[in-house]
C-alpha cells in the first residue's frame, strides 16, 4: 500500500506542479504590473525545475524548444536548481543588459570555459578574471588579446596574411588532381571543405610544420570542437559532454610539443620589420608575438601558452569554417550570383602573380551584404551576461533580478519579421527564412517591389551596403559573432576562399533540388554550428588558364 501511495505521489505531484506553475506563468506574463520579474516557465519538479530537460535535450535543443513554445511571452526564466537564466527577445532589453554589464569583466563569465574546456591551469585564471591582476600583467594581457589583433589582422598586414592563405589554399586544391575539362564529384562537400580549409587556416596561423609534427591535429580539433559545442558559460557541467577531454588533452600534447620545438628560448619571436610575415616553423608574426607576450608573463607556463594557442585555433575555425562553407553553398545555389562574383573577383586577380587584392574585394557592397546575410541566417550564437550587481530595469514593466544570467540568441532575432520590418522595410521584401544576397544593399535604382523581385531572380542588384538603422538587431549581424580574431580577419579569409574557388575552379551543385531539401531547419537549435540536413554533393574541375 505504501509503495502504491508513493507511486501515486510521484505521478500526481509533478502533474499538479506543472499545472500550478503553468497557471502562475501565464498570470505573471499577462500581468500589467510595473517592475515585475520575468516569469518562470512551467516545470514538473520544484527545486529541480528544468534541469532534466536541459540535461536530456542539451541546452541548444532545449532553449530552441522553449523559445518556440513560449517566445511570445518573453522575457521568461529558465531554471536549473539555484541557477536562473532569463531569455530576452526585445532588442531594447538586450541593449540595456549589454550596457549595464560593461562595468563587469568581459572574461569573468568565461572562466569555466578557460579552465575546463580549453584547459587553462588554475594558477593562470586570475589573469583572465582581470580583477586580481597587477598593472603590467593586465597591460600585457590586453596587448596580446586586443592590440595585436588590431596590429596584424587589419590593413596591409592582413593583406599579406591573405596572400599566405591564398597560396596555401590554391596549392592544396591543385594537389587534389582535379582535372581541366572533366568533373570530379565530391559527395560530402562539408567534410571535404572542413578538412581543406582547416588545414590551410592552421598552417597559415602556425606554419606548415605544425601539420607535419602533429598528424592528428585536424581530426582532434574537430572532435574537440564538436564536443564543446553545447558548452554555455554559467551552465552546470553535467550539460556538457565529457567527450571533449580526450581530444583536448591530445591537442594540448601536440601543441606543447610544437611550441617547445619552435617557440623555445627568449628570442624565438622574429617580429622585426624586415622579418617575413610568416614562417613555416613559427607561424605568423601575430602568433609569434602573441606567444612571446605570454612567455614573458611571470608564472605563465607551457600549459597556459598551449591553452592560448588552442583558444586561437577555436576562434579561427569554429566560426570561419562553417560560415565560409555556407557562403560557398548559398552562392552556388544561385548561378547568376556565382557568375557575377566570378566576374567581380577577376578584377582583383593577378594570374601571373597568383595573388588577389582581397582588401579591395571585401569592400565591395555585394560581398559585405553576403557576409552579413550569412552571419544572420547561417550563424547561431548567443549573448549571455551574468547580473552580479543590482536589479536591472529592462523597461517599465520588466526587471532583471540580481543573481540571474540574461541570455539572447542571434537566430531568435534574425528571423523576427516584425523587428526587421520596423527597422528597415526593404529587408523583409524576401522572407527572412531564405538567403538573399542583396538584403543589406540600398538599391541604386528605385524600382518597384515586383520589378526588384523579377530583377533579383536573374541579376545581382547594384547598391550601397548599409546597416544604418539596424543597430537594434546587432546580435544577429554584429561583431560578437566573430569574437577572438575579429571580423576583418574572418571576412578576408572568406573572400580569399571564395576568390580561389571561383577564379581557379568551376563548381556546381550536383543536385540543386536535393541541396534545397538539405537546407537547415531554422529554430531547431538555439546556438552552435548550423548544419545541413543531409550531405551536399558538388562537382569541381579546374578552369582553363585563359579563363582565370
Identify whether residues 115 and 78 lie together within a single domain. Answer: no
102 domain residue, yes or no: no
CA distance 507 to 414: 29
Q: How many domains does the chain fold into?
A: 2
Residues 4-17 pLDDT 10s: 666 655 668 888 88
* Contact status, residue 117 vs residue 128, Cβ threshold 8 Å: no
Identify whether residues 283 and 410 lie together within a single domain. Answer: yes
Q: Any idea what DSSP says for residue 372? A: H
99 domain residue, yes or no: no
Work out the average pLDDT over 252-256: 97
Single out the residue in 25, 52, 87 at which a domain terminates. 87
119 domain residue, yes or no: yes
297 domain residue, yes or no: yes
Single out the residue in 22, 53, 87 at which a domain terminates. 87
Q: What angle do CA 439, 321, 207 make, to 5 degrees?
A: 135
198 domain residue, yes or no: yes
CA distance 114 to 110: 6
How do the residues of the chain divide into helix, strand and coil, expressed in percent and rounded to 5? Answer: 55, 10, 35
* Contact status, residue 101 vs residue 62, Cβ threshold 8 Å: no
Task: Kindly tell me if the per-residue pLDDT of 201 is higher than 80.
Answer: yes
Domain that holds residue 62: 2-87
Work out the average pLDDT over 239-266: 91
Percent pLDDT > 90 in the chain is: 67
Identify whether residues 76 and 180 lie together within a single domain. Answer: no
Single out the residue in 27, 53, 87 at which a domain terminates. 87
CA distance 467 to 462: 16
Percent pLDDT > 70 in the chain is: 89
Identify whether residues 405 and 485 lie together within a single domain. Answer: yes
Identify whether residues 79 and 113 lie together within a single domain. Answer: no
Task: Kindly tell me if the per-residue pLDDT of 105 is higher than 60.
Answer: no
* Contact status, residue 407 vs residue 88, Cβ threshold 8 Å: yes
391 domain residue, yes or no: yes
Q: What is the CATH number of the domain that holds 272?
A: 1.10.630.10
Mean pLDDT of the chain: 89
Q: What is the pLDDT of residue 236?
A: 76
Task: Kindly tell me if the per-residue pLDDT of 104 is higher than 80.
Answer: no
Would you tell me how many other CB atoms lie within 10 Å of the CB of residue 523? 17
CA distance 366 to 343: 13
Task: Kindly tell me if the per-residue pLDDT of 525 is higher than 60.
Answer: yes
Instruction: Using alpha carbons, select from 441, 466, 319 the residue that is nearest to residue 379.
Output: 319
> How far lies 294's CA from each of 38, 139, 302, in Å?
43, 11, 9
Range of lowest pLDDT (22-26, 202-206, 326-330)? 22-26
Q: What is the pLDDT of residue 130?
A: 57
Identify whether residues 170 and 272 lie together within a single domain. Answer: yes
Work out the average pLDDT over 488-496: 96
Q: What is the pLDDT of residue 132?
A: 47
Q: Which of 128-142, 190-204, 341-355 has the highest mean pLDDT?
A: 190-204
Q: What is the pLDDT of residue 15?
A: 85
96 domain residue, yes or no: no
Identify whether residues 494 and 543 lie together within a single domain. Answer: yes
Work out the average pLDDT over 206-232: 94
Identify whether residues 197 and 322 lie together within a single domain. Answer: yes
* Contact status, residue 380 vs residue 411, Cβ threshold 8 Å: yes
Identify whether residues 312 and 173 lie together within a single domain. Answer: yes
Task: Kindly tell me if the per-residue pLDDT of 59 is higher than 80.
Answer: yes
Q: Any idea what DSSP says for residue 543? A: P
Residues 273-330 pLDDT 10s: 999 999 999 999 999 999 999 998 876 789 999 999 999 999 999 999 999 999 999 9
CA distance 282 to 297: 20
CA distance 293 to 269: 10
Identify whether residues 431 and 527 lie together within a single domain. Answer: yes
Residues 147-184 pLDDT 10s: 999 999 999 999 999 999 999 999 999 988 898 989 99
- The 3-state DSSP class for residue 528 equals coil
Which ranges constitute the DSSP H helices of 58-115? 59-70, 91-100, 111-112
Identify whether residues 29 and 178 lie together within a single domain. Answer: no
pLDDT band at 232 (very low <50, low <70, confident <90, very high): confident
Buried b (16+ CB within 10 A) or exposed e, 169-208: bbebbeeeebeeeeeeebeebbeebbebbbbbbbbbbbbb
Range of lowest pLDDT (394-408, 418-432, 458-472, 503-517)? 458-472
Identify whether residues 222 and 158 lie together within a single domain. Answer: yes
pLDDT band at 382 (very low <50, low <70, confident <90, very high): very high
Amino acid at each position: 500500500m505504501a509503495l502504491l501511495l508513493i507511486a501515486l505521489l510521484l505521478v500526481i505531484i509533478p502533474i499538479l506542479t506543472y499545472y500550478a506553475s503553468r497557471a502562475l506563468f501565464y498570470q505573471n506574463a499577462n500581468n500589467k504590473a510595473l517592475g515585475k520579474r520575468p516569469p518562470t516557465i512551467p516545470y514538473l519538479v520544484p527545486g529541480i525545475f528544468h534541469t532534466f530537460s536541459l540535461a536530456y535535450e542539451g541546452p541548444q535543443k532545449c532553449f530552441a524548444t522553449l523559445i518556440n513554445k513560449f517566445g511570445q511571452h518573453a522575457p521568461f526564466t529558465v531554471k536549473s536548481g539555484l541557477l536562473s537564466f532569463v531569455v530576452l527577445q526585445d532588442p531594447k532589453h538586450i541593449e540595456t543588459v549589454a550596457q549595464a554589464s560593461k562595468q563587469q569583466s568581459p572574461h569573468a563569465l568565461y572562466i569555466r570555459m578557460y579552465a575546463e574546456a580549453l584547459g587553462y591551469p588554475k594558477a593562470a585564471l586570475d589573469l583572465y578574471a582581470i580583477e586580481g591582476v597587477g598593472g603590467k600583467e593586465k597591460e600585457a594581457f590586453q596587448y596580446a588579446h586586443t592590440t595585436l589583433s588590431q596590429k596584424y589582422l587589419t590593413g596591409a598586414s592582413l593583406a599579406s596574411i591573405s596572400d599566405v592563405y591564398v597560396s596555401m589554399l590554391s596549392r592544396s586544391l591543385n594537389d587534389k588532381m582535379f582535372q581541366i575539362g572533366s568533373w570530379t564529384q565530391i559527395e560530402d562537400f562539408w567534410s571535404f571543405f572542413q578538412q581543406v580549409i582547416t588545414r590551410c587556416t592552421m598552417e597559415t596561423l602556425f606554419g606548415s610544420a605544425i601539420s607535419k609534427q602533429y598528424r592528428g591535429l585536424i581530426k582532434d580539433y574537430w572532435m574537440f570542437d564538436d564536443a564543446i559545442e553545447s558548452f554555455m558559460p554559467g551552465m552546470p557541467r553535467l550539460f556538457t559532454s565529457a567527450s571533449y577531454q580526450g581530444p583536448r588533452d591530445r591537442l594540448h600534447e601536440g601543441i606543447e610539443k610544437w611550441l617547445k620545438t619552435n617557440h623555445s628560448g627568449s628570442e624565438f619571436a622574429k617580429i622585426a620589420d624586415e622579418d617575413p610575415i610568416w614562417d613555416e616553423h613559427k607561424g605568423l608574426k601575430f602568433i609569434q608575438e602573441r606567444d612571446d607576450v605570454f612567455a614573458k608573463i611571470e608564472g605563465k607556463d607551457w600549459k597556459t601558452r598551449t591553452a592560448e594557442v588552442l583558444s586561437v585555433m577555436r576562434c579561427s575555425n569554429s566560426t570561419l569554417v562553417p560560415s565560409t562553407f555556407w557562403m560557398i553553398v548559398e552562392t552556388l545555389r544561385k548561378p547568376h550570383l556565382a557568375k557575377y562574383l566570378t566576374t567581380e573577383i577577376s578584377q582583383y586577380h593577378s594570374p601571373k602573380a597568383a595573388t588577389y587584392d582581397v582588401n579591395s574585394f571585401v569592400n565591395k557592397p555585394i560581398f559585405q551584404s553576403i557576409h552579413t546575410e550569412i552571419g544572420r541566417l547561417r550563424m547561431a550564437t548567443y549573448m549571455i551576461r551574468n547580473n552580479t550587481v543590482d536589479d536591472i530595469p529592462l523597461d517599465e514593466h520588466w526587471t532583471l533580478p540580481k543573481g540571474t544570467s540574461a541570455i539572447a540568441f542571434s537566430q531568435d532575432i534574425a528571423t523576427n519579421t516584425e523587428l526587421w520590418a520596423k527597422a528597415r522595410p526593404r529587408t523583409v521584401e524576401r522572407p527572412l527564412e531564405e538567403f538573399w544576397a542583396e538584403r543589406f544593399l540600398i538599391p541604386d535604382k528605385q524600382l518597384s517591389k515586383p520589378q526588384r523581385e523579377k530583377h533579383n531572380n536573374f541579376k545581382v542588384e547594384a547598391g550601397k551596403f548599409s546597416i544604418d538603422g539596424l543597430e537594434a538587431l546587432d546580435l544577429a549581424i554584429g561583431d560578437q559573432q566573430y569574437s577572438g580574431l575579429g571580423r576583418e580577419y574572418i571576412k578576408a579569409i572568406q573572400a580569399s576562399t571564395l576568390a580561389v574557388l571561383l577564379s581557379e575552379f568551376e563548381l556546381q551543385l550536383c543536385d540543386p533540388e536535393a541541396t534545397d531539401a538539405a537546407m537547415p531547419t531554422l529554430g531547431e537549435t538555439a546556438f552552435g554550428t548550423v548544419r545541413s540536413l543531409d550531405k551536399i554533393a558538388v562537382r569541381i574541375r579546374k578552369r582553363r588558364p585563359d579563363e582565370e
